[in-house]
């Protein structure tokens, strides 16, 4: 590709983002789906800091271990500013198609969320596919959320103000975790979801339009989901949260605000087995480049600015 050839010329991208896409095209790195999972993780780790800002200094950065139901110990990292009072806390699940990503790749993002909001952030290193297929990541999410609720006080955190959030696949895990919390009687303060996957199949017009990218394309999505889940299990609501039999009281938790200015009422699709639940009033924003949400929180050049308002609702 010539350096002057526009990348996706029909998309209304900022000059900064267009430059990023052009740089990626010129780098001509092998597509993620052509790599072994270990290679893909290493490549993602190596490139994770390219657009980062300087890490926010925090008084408390503490590595923890959280027990899973099968005896495994899950790594986690707690970020917090100095504060004599019990802090609200966000359990954060990183993105990466259930296959790549880690606490390290999202370290700057979680620092920035804690820095901008004043809340604590607990980043979870849930287990990845294909070594650990569905529903391991979902189970790890719930085990961590239940553990956090039980141990928040000992960590100097406020158990009455727990939130859950994540980006991409992490947003899927967070949305499903919110349903589990509702069913278990664990009241969450809010959900913070960056472009979560919430449906069972990638068959919408936007998936067709962006089948060749930018950044995330159909081949990569197929590879990620093939690593994680069998086709026959894809209508399980823990993978597709909108298929939960009931999404009432998890769609707009106390203090939640829509992710963009335009709000739409989305009817929930039929659940597995043909049952239809109540429609969910789910906020939606016009599509952006896949990494835009976390970049916004980091304050990366050309990204929309992240606001600290959600944490004030905790």
pLDDT (tens digit, 9 = 90+) per residue, 94-124? Answer: 999 999 999 999 999 999 999 999 999 999 9
Domain total for the chain?
1
pLDDT for position 5: 55
Residue 6 in any domain: the answer is: no
Helix (H, G, I), strand (E, B) or coil at 167: strand
pLDDT for position 126: 98
pLDDT in tens, 6-61: 667 888 899 988 888 888 888 888 999 999 999 999 999 988 877 778 999 999 99
Nearest-angstrom CA–CA distance, 149 and 172: 20
Residue with tokens 């050839």: 5
Average pLDDT over residues 250-275: 38
> pLDDT band at residue 287, thresholds of 50, 70 and 90?
very low
Beta carbons of 178 and 253 less than 8 angstroms apart: yes
Range(s) of the domain holding residue 50: 15-312
Residue 1 in any domain: the answer is: no
Residue 7 in any domain: the answer is: no
Pairing mode of beta strands 73-80, 60-67: antiparallel
Mean pLDDT of the chain: 82
DSSP 85: S
Beta carbons of 129 and 228 less than 8 angstroms apart: yes
Residue 9 in any domain: the answer is: no
pLDDT for position 238: 98
Q: Does residue 153 surpass a pLDDT of 60?
A: yes
Could you tell me the CATH number of the domain that includes residue 72? 3.40.50.1820
What are the structure tokens assigned to 68, written together? 């899973």
Q: Which stretches does DSSP call E strand in 109-259?
A: 120-124, 157-167, 191-194
* Sign of the alpha-carbon dihedral angle for 140, 161, 64, 101: positive
* Sign of the alpha-carbon dihedral angle for 225, 230, 232, 234: negative
Q: How many CA atoms are closer than 13 Å to the CA of 175, on its beta-carbon side? A: 30
263 vs 161: which has the higher pLDDT: 161
Q: Which stretches does DSSP call E strand in the chain?
A: 60-67, 73-80, 87-93, 120-124, 157-167, 191-194
Residue 5 in any domain: the answer is: no
Tell me how many degrees the CA angle 240-244-246 measures, rounded to the nearest 5: 150
pLDDT for position 239: 98
What are the structure tokens assigned to 270, written together? 């039929």
Residue with tokens 């900064």: 16
Residue 233 in any domain: the answer is: yes
Q: Which candidate, 118, 100, 122, 126, places its Cα nearest to that of 56? A: 118
Nearest-angstrom CA–CA distance, 33 and 261: 35
Nearest-angstrom CA–CA distance, 227 and 209: 24
Residue 3 in any domain: the answer is: no
What are the structure tokens assigned to 274, written together? 């043909």
Nearest-angstrom CA–CA distance, 174 and 94: 10
Whether a cis peptide bond, with omega within 30° of 0, leads into 214 is yes
Average pLDDT over residues 275-288: 33
Nearest-angstrom CA–CA distance, 169 and 149: 22
Residue 224 in any domain: the answer is: yes
């Amino acid at each position: 590709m010539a350096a002057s050839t526009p990348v996706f010329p029909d998309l209304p991208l900022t000059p900064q983002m267009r430059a990023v896409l052009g740089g990626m095209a010129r780098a001509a790195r092998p597509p993620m789906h052509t790599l072994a999972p270990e290679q893909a993780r290493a490549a993602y780790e190596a490139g994770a800091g390219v657009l980062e800002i300087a890490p926010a200094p925090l008084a408390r950065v503490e590595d923890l271990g959280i027990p899973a139901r099968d005896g495994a110990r899950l790594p986690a990292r707690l970020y917090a500013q100095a504060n004599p009072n019990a802090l609200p806390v966000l359990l954060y699940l990183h993105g990466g198609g259930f296959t790549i990503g880690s606490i390290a790749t999202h370290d700057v993002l979680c620092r920035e969320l804690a820095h901008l909001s004043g809340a604590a952030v607990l980043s979870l290193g849930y287990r990845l596919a294909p070594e650990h297929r569905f529903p391991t990541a979902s189970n790890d999410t719930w085990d961590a959320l239940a553990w956090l609720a039980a141990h928040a006080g000992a960590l100097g955190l406020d158990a009455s103000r727990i939130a859950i959030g994540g980006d991409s696949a992490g947003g899927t895990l967070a949305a499903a975790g919110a349903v589990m919390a509702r069913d278990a009687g664990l009241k969450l303060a809010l959900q913070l979801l960056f472009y979560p996957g919430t449906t069972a199949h990638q068959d919408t017009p936007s998936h067709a339009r962006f089948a060749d990218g930018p950044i995330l394309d159909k081949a990569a999505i197929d590879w990620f989901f093939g690593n994680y889940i069998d086709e026959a299990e894809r209508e399980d609501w823990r993978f597709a949260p909108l298929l939960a039999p009931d999404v009432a009281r998890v769609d707009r938790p106390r203090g939640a605000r829509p992710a963009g200015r335009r709000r739409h009422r989305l009817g929930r699709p039929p659940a597995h087995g043909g049952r239809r639940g109540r429609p969910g009033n789910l906020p939606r924003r016009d599509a952006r480049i896949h990494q835009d949400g976390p970049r916004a929180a980091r304050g990366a050049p050309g990204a929309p600015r992240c606001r600290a308002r959600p944490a004030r609702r905790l």
